[in-house]
């Protein structure tokens, strides 16, 4: 039993780091622009499919396909930002509907270009086992991307807290007009946060293509997971994303181990609602979401 729970916790933490990778971009844009990008999961998926094509056609290792995937996904993210910037009134809700529409467009575009077949990397190294302390098992890919997830969360946190750009971003987030008076160009900072979110989506996409199996309908599912984590984290908290993601991962895997895998999604959703309804600022956040 101890072995089971230990492995379950370990799997949950690894899943959590991978979830954090998916959620970080969404949380960043949400924190800085108050915009929930419902096409974020589709951007992740786009990154995954580009990585697939690069491996299939050019024989590139998934990690080596990052520059190519980055270029295309960030460009797409910029296009999404441009469309959001066209919204004139009630940006909070209208952007929700707009990005929902963009998600539908991207999902169907992926379906048309890559068809409904499932794909995953064919480089076997990623799926080889690593065994820690004789009892904890993981795929190499999971370890690689969990590490990458933690590093990126740290990098984004450092960027927001310490760098000048990050401060400008936070200034815009808390008060757009006041930030303008301080000589910060809100548009520029928002473009930047969207670009970084595109970058994070790409890495997450490559991670999914490598460690999991991709198919066109996955995008929406990823967005929902990312949003759940953002809520758990509380708005504006970058370390919260990692902790919220790990919490979700652990709750899911413990549900599988102690109850049934059939209830795993249910457990995640219930956790989400409980935190949403009972903890007005998330587990680690500052801002309230009641109104």
In the region spanning residues 199 to 238, those forming contacts with other proteins, defined by CB under 8 A, are 212-213, 215, 217, 220-221, 224, 227-228, 231
Q: By C-beta, is 69 or 102 nearer to other proteins?
A: 102
Q: By C-beta, is 150 or 263 nearer to other proteins?
A: 263
Size of the site for other proteins (CB under 8 A): 72
Q: Which of 163, 188, 186, 161 shows the shortest CA–CA distance to 175? A: 186
Q: By C-beta, is 96 or 191 nearer to other proteins?
A: 96
Other beta carbons within 10 angstroms of residue 3's beta carbon come to: 10
Supply 41's token pair: 């999961």
Query: x/- string (CB under 8 A) for other proteins, residues 140-169?
Result: ------------------------------
158 vs 184: CA distance, rounded Å: 20
- Interface with other proteins includes 263 (CB under 8 A)? yes
CB of 142 to other proteins, least distance (A): 8
- Interface with other proteins includes 139 (CB under 8 A)? yes
273 vs 6: CA distance, rounded Å: 27
Q: Please list every residue from 242 through 261 that binds other proteins, using CB under 8 A.
A: 252-253, 256-257, 260-261
State the angle between helix axes of 40-58 and 186-211 in degrees (0 to 180), rounded to the nearest 10. Answer: 50
Candidate segments 43-51, 67-75, 97-105, 181-189, binder of other proteins by CB under 8 A: 97-105
Our measurement of the distance from residue 26's CA atom to the centroid of its chain's CA atoms, rounded to an integer in Å, reads: 6
Candidate segments 1-9, 158-166, 189-197, 199-207, binder of other proteins by CB under 8 A: 1-9
CB 211 within 8 A of CB 126: yes
Q: Which of 82, 235, 71, 222 shows the shortest CA–CA distance to 160? A: 235
- Interface with other proteins includes 86 (CB under 8 A)? yes
Q: Please list every residue from 26 through 85 that binds other proteins, using CB under 8 A.
A: 36, 83
Site of tokens 């979401």? 289
Candidate segments 58-66, 105-113, 163-171, 179-187, binder of other proteins by CB under 8 A: 105-113
42 vs 88: CA distance, rounded Å: 24
CB 62 within 8 A of CB 51: yes
Pick the binder of other proteins from 23, 27, 29, 102 (CB under 8 A).
102
């Amino acid at each position: 039993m101890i072995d089971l729970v230990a492995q379950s916790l370990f799997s949950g933490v690894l899943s959590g780091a991978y979830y954090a990778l998916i959620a970080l971009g969404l949380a960043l844009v949400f924190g800085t622009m108050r915009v929930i990008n419902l096409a974020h999961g589709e951007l992740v998926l786009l990154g995954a499919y580009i990585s697939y094509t690069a491996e299939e056609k050019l024989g590139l290792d998934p990690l080596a396909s990052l520059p190519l995937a980055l270029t295309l996904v960030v460009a797409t993210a910029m296009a999404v930002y441009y469309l959001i910037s066209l919204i004139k009134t009630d940006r909070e809700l209208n952007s929700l509907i707009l990005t929902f529409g963009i998600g539908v467009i991207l999902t169907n575009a992926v379906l048309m270009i890559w068809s409904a077949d499932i794909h995953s990397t064919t480089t076997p190294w990623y799926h080889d086992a690593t065994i820690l302390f004789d009892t904890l098992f993981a795929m190499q890919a999971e370890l690689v991307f969990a590490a990458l997830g933690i590093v990126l969360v740290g990098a984004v946190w450092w960027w927001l807290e310490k760098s000048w750009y990050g401060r400008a971003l936070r200034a815009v987030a808390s008060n757009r007009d006041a930030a303008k008076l301080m000589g910060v160009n809100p548009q520029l900072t928002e473009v930047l946060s969207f670009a970084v979110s595109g970058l994070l989506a790409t890495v997450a996409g490559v991670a999914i293509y490598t460690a999991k199996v991709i198919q066109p309908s996955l995008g929406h599912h990823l967005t929902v997971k990312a949003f759940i984590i953002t809520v758990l984290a509380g708005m504006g908290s970058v370390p919260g994303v990692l902790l919220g993601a790990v919490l979700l991962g652990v709750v899911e895997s413990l549900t599988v181990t102690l109850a049934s895998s059939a209830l795993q999604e249910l457990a995640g959703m219930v956790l989400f609602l409980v935190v949403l309804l009972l903890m007005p600022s998330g587990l680690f956040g500052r801002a309230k979401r009641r109104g």
